[in-house]
Every structure is written in C-alpha cells, then in structure tokens.
Chain A
Amino acid sequence: QKEVEQNSGPLSVPEGAIASLNCTYSDRGSQSFFWYRQYSGKSPELIMFIYSNGDKEDGRFTAQLNKASQYVSLLIRDSQPSDSATYLCAVRGAGNMLTFGGGTRLMVKP
C-alpha cells in the first residue's frame, strides 16, 4: 500500500513566523510531489509542485524534496492569518496516480 503521511496538527504559528509542514511517503518510485491548500468548505488549490531533489521557491512558499529520505516539506515564510487552512501533500507514483496525505491543519494567529 502506497502511503503518504502528514501530521494532522493543528500546527499553530504566530503571524510573521515560518510555518513548516512535513510529509513522508512510502513509494520510492514516486516521481512528482504537490502541495495543495484547502480552505474549509472549498476544494483543494495547487500551490506548489516539485520534481527534483532540493528546494523550489515561489514567493513566500518553499518546497523541499529529499528523495533519499522520502521526505517533502513546505515552508511558508511571513505567515499570514489568510494562510490558515489545511495543507495536503500529494505524491505521484510510478503508476501516475496521485496519493494524498491526510492533511495538516495550519492556524496562523494574529
């Protein structure tokens, strides 16, 4: 069974701090990795994707991938209350299907 694991949280950070969200996966053949943000009552919105080892930055967001450790993370700098949401990690394996983690609920407190 291919698994994607996330801490369910909630992860609480003060406004302006760095939020660090983590995800591990079991399928060593996984090729691509995605982070989705989901506000309560809304559908998931793609915010970052990463295919290669290392860091990928987009604005306040940085995705980090370590395939050897089967670990992917999302850093949110200068966290804002509007970043409060559930963040879903998704992994695409060799079969091209996306497997989603359970999500981490982030709360950014003013």
Chain B
Amino acid sequence: SAVISQKPSRDICQRGTSLTIQCQVDSQVTMMFWYRQQPGQSLTLIATANQGSEATYESGFVIDKFPISRPNLTFSTLTVSNMSPEDSSIYLCSASGTANEKLFFGSGTQLSVL
C-alpha cells in the first residue's frame, strides 16, 4: 500500500484567504484524488488530479474555487480559494496504483474558516 503524506494536518484560516494543501505519495501512482468530508458526513469527491493536465472536477466543484496541481506521479496540491466558513471541512488526498486498484488515503487536513 502507498504511504500518503498530507500537510498541513490542520489550519485555522480567515474568511477570504486561500490555503494550499500538499499531498506526497511515497511511490508513483496513476490516480490521485481529492475528497472533502464535512462534519458528520461521508466523503465527497472533489476532483481527480491528472498528471500534466487539468484536473477533472465533480459536479458542484469548480477550478476557480479548488485549483489543483499535479506536476508528477507522486505529488499534488489542492488550494481552497477565497474561503468562507462553509469550507470548514476535512480535506483528504487519496491515491491508487491504477484505476482498478485499492484506494488509500492521506491523514487529512482539518480546515476551520472563521
């Protein structure tokens, strides 16, 4: 299984600012994803991070709000832009070796927006 490091682990941010979350995998992986988990809720897929091209966003999520980079097969970032209290959530990076393989998660970023 891949080891996925995510940072920061938590942050408290002011409304209107932006936060970039970093995700590092210890081996090359084909697929990387970003999920959001709001308090007491299950996981919602934000987007698929595509290496060398624009991310694929799910319904309800847009690039201007959640820009994603994936410069290589082991690293990705998610930025939460122009934050509001509604963005307070846990953000999770995940990865799998191929599209059909098991999905593993990073330790998550607990974001609180004041």
Contact = CB atoms under 8 A, between A and B. Distances in A.
Interface in A1-44: 31-32, 34, 41-44
Given A43-B92, A43-B108, A101 B42 contact: yes
Contact of A34 (B45, B48, B102, B110): B102
A103 B42 contact: yes
Contacts of B103: 34, 46, 90, 98
Contacts, number: 39
Given A88-B42, A102-B42, A96 B100 contact: yes
Interface in A64-110: 88, 90, 92, 96-98, 100-103
Interface in B83-114: 90, 92, 99-100, 102-108, 110
A53 B75 CA distance: 36
Contact of B106 (A43, A90, A98, A102): A43
Contacts of A92: 100
Interface residues of A, number: 20
A109 to B, nearest CB: 22
Given A42-B107, A43-B107, A46-B104, 12 more contacts: A31-B100, A34-B102, A43-B105, A45-B105, A46-B102, A88-B42, A88-B43, A90-B103, A92-B100, A98-B45, A98-B103, A102-B41
Contacts of B110: 41
Nearest to B6: A43
Which of B103, B107, B108, B110 is most buried by chain A, counting CB atoms within 10 A of its CB?
Answer: B103
Contacts of A44: 43, 92, 105
A101 B103 CA distance: 15
Given A43-B92, A43-B107, A43-B108, A97 B102 contact: no
5 contacts: A43-B92, A45-B105, A46-B102, A98-B45, A100-B43
